[in-house]
Homo-oligomer: A and B are copies of this chain.
Amino acid sequence: MDYSELFSADTHNFMRSPVRDIFKKVDLSKIYSFAGGYPHPSTFPTDRLASMVETVRQKYGDKILQYGATQGTNELQEALSKRYDVPADNIQITTSSQQGIDVTARVLVDPGDVVLVADPSYLGAIQSFKSYRADIVGLDLTPSFEASKQRRATIQALVDAGKKIKFFYTVPDFQNPSGETLTLAQRSELVALAREFGFLILEDCPYRELRYEGQPQTTIYTLAPERTIHLGSFSKVFAPGLRLGWMIAAPEILDKVYVCKQALDLCPPVLDQYLAAEWLSSGELDRNLEKTRELYRGKRDLMISMLEKYMPEGVSWTHPEGGLFLFLTLPEHIDTVALYDKALAAGVAYVAGSFFYANGTHRNTMRLSYSFIDDEKIEGGIRILASLIR
């Protein structure tokens, strides 16, 4: 039968994730994959998991398998409250930080509302905003006087056209896909614009703890707690197979999220929350993070040295201070979307950069991830990629 008349208007704006569709088709362990932002499995406490389960069972008994509170377990809220020095009432546990993105859009966006994003931006966020029929406007965040004037002018023009701007979405630390980190000046400019034009900032920080050099930047939430929704994730500091993230925001905003989440999925995964609270409060998270940072720092350095060794002239890349990604810019005439099937046939996977731009431009860019691939495969993969580009 034909269902097309029954689907909601939102579905016409649904956008498939080319990244997750790649994972559906290809066994990434069999090729040189720079595609997904998967953590390296050696960072997971797989071998200790059963004994961790036994620990939380002894502490909490049957509660680990029962329904939990919609806002999250007390134990996890309190562990996060302590670590990030915010009241527990300002914390909502989410079933993944992707849910944090989606539920934010749900409680803020009406069709036609503007969501501002950095250009390029995380694909899963663009996907979510589009699905609520937001008008997504990409801003070039280049830190120059000219670009800053342009940003203000773009926003002013939107307001003049009667558009409602709801929030600016950013991954300020080691961005997905660019790997770049916003300076304090860039963060302050965003806050000033948000205050002037009355919009919020959605600060998405899944990689913040993965810094390999340099000093941490102040969070945007610290600069403007009243108008920032801050998202954190356990996927890169514990395990993504436990679907857990958190939101830090004003209680008035979290109250809407709370009521929405009752209908979304009642509560976050409960066993996962007890494991995460234990991981955090026992100090395992910090001990493991040290090793994780060392591992990824080595992978980043190896990938950059291989890019330097093999890439032809005209190819440049970002130098991330942390996170899982770097971003390549190729000569103008190379289309990385068109190149993709050839690359896959040659055994290399990446994500075309244009997918991360609100309007699909920059077809000569690509995102490479160094987190999941084993060290000994990095050279081989980059060599193949370089020969394809050449």
- Please report A residues at the B interface, Cβ cutoff 8 Å: 1, 3, 5-11, 14-17, 20, 23-24, 36, 38-39, 41, 44-47, 49-51, 53-54, 57, 61-71, 95-96, 98-99, 101-102, 106-110, 113, 124, 127-128, 131-132, 166-167, 198-200, 226-227, 235, 239-243, 250, 252-253, 256, 259-260, 262-272
Task: Flag if B17 contacts A262 (CB, 8 Å).
Answer: yes
Which of A1, A198, A250, A266 has the largest count of B CB atoms less than 10 A from its CB? Answer: A266
* Nearest CB in chain B: distance from A196 CB, A: 14
| A124-B262, A271-B241 as given contacts; A226 in contact with B65, CB under 8 Å | no
State how many copies of this chain the complex holds. 2
* Nearest CB in chain B: distance from A175 CB, A: 18
- In the complex, 28 of the A-B residue pairs with CB atoms within 8 angstroms, ordered by the A residue number, are A1-B250, A6-B108, A6-B166, A7-B256, A8-B109, A8-B132, A14-B256, A14-B263, A20-B262, A36-B67, A41-B62, A45-B65, A47-B57, A50-B53, A63-B241, A65-B240, A66-B239, A66-B240, A67-B241, A95-B269, A96-B266, A98-B264, A127-B262, A127-B263, A239-B271, A242-B270, A243-B270, A272-B272
* Nearest CB in chain B: distance from A14 CB, A: 5
Which B residues are in CB contact (< 8 Å) with A101? 263
| A67-B240, A95-B243 as given contacts; A250 in contact with B3, CB under 8 Å | yes
Task: Flag if A107 contacts B50 (CB, 8 Å).
Answer: no
Which B residues are in CB contact (< 8 Å) with A54? 50
Add 5 more A-B contacts to A68-B241, A102-B264 (CB < 8 A): A1-B226, A16-B259, A98-B263, A241-B271, A242-B269
Residue of B67, B200, B271 touching A6 (CB-CB under 8 A): B200
Task: Flag if A65 contacts B51 (CB, 8 Å).
Answer: no
Residue of B57, B167, B241, B252 touching A50 (CB-CB under 8 A): B57
Which B residues are in CB contact (< 8 Å) with A53? 49-50, 53
Which B residues are in CB contact (< 8 Å) with A167? 6
Residue of B6, B65, B124 touching A263 (CB-CB under 8 A): B124
Kindly state the separation between the CA atoms of A259 and B101 in the bound complex, as whole angstroms. Answer: 16
Task: Flag if A62 contacts B38 (CB, 8 Å).
Answer: no
Task: Flag if A241 contacts B98 (CB, 8 Å).
Answer: no
Task: Flag if A95 contacts B98 (CB, 8 Å).
Answer: no
Q: Which residue of B lies closest to A252 (CB)?
A: B3
Which B residues are in CB contact (< 8 Å) with A71? 24
Task: Flag if A69 contacts B23 (CB, 8 Å).
Answer: yes
* Nearest CB in chain B: distance from A168 CB, A: 13
Residue of B15, B128, B132, B260 touching A14 (CB-CB under 8 A): B260
Kindly state the separation between the CA atoms of A266 and B240 in the bound complex, as whole angstroms. Answer: 10
Task: Flag if B20 contacts A70 (CB, 8 Å).
Answer: yes
* Nearest CB in chain B: distance from A173 CB, A: 20
| A66-B38, A107-B7, A260-B14 as given contacts; A98 in contact with B265, CB under 8 Å | yes
